Amino acid sequence: YLTLLEEHGVTLDEQQMAAATAIEGPLLVLSGAGSGKTRVLTVRTAYMITVRKVDPKTIMLVTFTAKAAKEMKERLLSYPGISASAVNQLVSGTFHSVFYKILIFHEPEKWQRNLLIKWNWEKEKIVKNAGRDYGLDEKEFAYDSALQQIGLWKNSLLFPEDIKPIDDWEIACAYLYKKYEEYKQKTMMYDFDDMLVGCYSLLKSRSDLLEKYKRRFQYFLVDEFQDINKVQYELIKMLSSGSNNLCVVGDDDQAIYSFRGSDPSFILHFEKDYPAVKIVKLTENYRSAHEIVATANRIIKGNQSRMDKAMRAQHNFSEPAVLFFPYDEELEATMIVTDIQEKVALGARPSDFAILYRTHSMSRAIFERLAASSLPFVIDQDAESFYERRIVRGMLAFLRLSMQPQDPRAAAAILSPLFLKQNVLQEMKAQTILRDCDFIDTFSFVKTGLAFQERKLKALPAKIRSLRNVKPIIALEIVEKDLGYQDFVKKRGTEGNIEKGSDDIRDLKVAAKQFETIGEFLDHADHMIGMNKEVKQLSKHFTDAIQLTTIHRSKGLEYKTVYVLSAVEGSIPHDFALDSYRKGDVVPLEEERRLMYVAATRASLGLYFSIPQTRRGKKAFPSRFLKFY
Ligand code: ATP
Ligand code: MG
Give the model's confidence band at 233: pLDDT under 50 very low, under 70 low, under 90 confident, else very high: very high
Instruction: Tell me the DSSP string of 539-556.
Output: HTT-SS-EEEEETGGGTT
* pLDDT value, residue 500: 67
What average pLDDT does this structure show over 94-105? 94
Q: How do residues 136-182 score in pLDDT, each as one tens digit?
A: 877 667 888 899 899 999 999 999 999 998 888 889 999 999 999 99
* pLDDT value, residue 493: 56
Whole-angstrom distance, CA of residue 371 vs CA of residue 363:
12
Give the model's confidence band at 540: pLDDT under 50 very low, under 70 low, under 90 confident, else very high: confident
Q: How do residues 254-284 score in pLDDT, each as one tens digit?
A: 999 988 888 878 887 888 899 899 999 998 9
What average pLDDT does this structure show over 85-111? 94
Does residue 38 have a known ligand-binding role? yes
How many angstroms does the Cα of residue 558 sit away from the middle of ligand 1? 9
Phi, psi of 48 (to 5 degrees): -60, -45
Please check the confidence at residue 598 and state whether its pLDDT lies above 90.
yes
Give the pairing of strands 219-222 and 59-63.
parallel
Enumerate residues 6+ apart whose C-beta is below 8 A from 175. Answer: 130, 134
Please check the confidence at residue 548 and state whether its pLDDT lies above 60.
yes
Does residue 556 have a known ligand-binding role? no
Whole-angstrom distance, CA of residue 305 vs CA of residue 150:
27
Instruction: Tell me the DSSP string of 568-584.
Output: BTBTTTBHHHHHHHHTT
3-state secondary structure of 255: coil
Q: Do residues 601 and 34 touch, judged by C-beta distance below 8 A? A: yes
Output the average pLDDT for the chain.
90
Q: What's the predicted TM-score (pTM) here?
A: 0.90
Among candidate residues 593, 594, 587, the one with its CA nearest the CA of residue 252: 594
Q: What percent of the chain has pLDDT over 90?
A: 64
Phi, psi of 278 (to 5 degrees): -100, 135
How many angstroms does the Cα of residue 286 sit away from the middle of ligand 1? 5
Q: How do residues 179-208 score in pLDDT, each as one tens digit?
A: 999 999 999 999 999 999 999 999 999 999
Q: How do residues 570-593 score in pLDDT, each as one tens digit?
A: 999 999 899 989 999 998 999 999
Please check the confidence at residue 496 and state whether its pLDDT lies above 60.
no
Which ligand 1 atom sits closest to the C-alpha of 31?
6
Please check the confidence at residue 292 and state whether its pLDDT lies above 90.
yes
Q: How do residues 406-442 score in pLDDT, each as one tens digit?
A: 888 888 888 877 777 777 788 888 888 888 888 888 8
Does residue 33 have a known ligand-binding role? yes
* pLDDT value, residue 448: 77
Among candidate residues 198, 203, 255, the one with its CA nearest the CA of residue 229: 255
Q: What percent of the chain has pLDDT over 70?
A: 98
Cα distances (Å, whole numbers) of residue 539 to 246, 360, 532: 35, 16, 10
One-letter amino acid for residue 257 of the chain: Y
Give the number of other CB atoms < 10 A from CB of residue 102. Answer: 21
* Most ligand 1 atoms within 8 A of CB, residue of 78, 287, 311, 558 to mutate: 287
Q: Quote the DSSP letter at residue 414.
A: T
Please check the confidence at residue 21 and state whether its pLDDT lies above 60.
yes
Of all protein residues, the one whose alpha carbon is nearest to atom 8 of ligand 1 is 34
What is the separation, in whole angstroms, between the first and last Cα of the chain?
Answer: 46
How many angstroms does the Cα of residue 557 sit away from the middle of ligand 1? 10
How many angstroms does the Cα of residue 38 sit away from the middle of ligand 1? 7
* pLDDT value, residue 136: 81
Give the number of other CB atoms < 10 A from CB of residue 418. Answer: 20
Of all protein residues, the one whose alpha carbon is nearest to atom 15 of ligand 1 is 287
As for ligand 1, residues whose beta carbon falls within 6 Å of it are 11-13, 16, 33-39, 251, 254, 286-287, 556, 558, 601
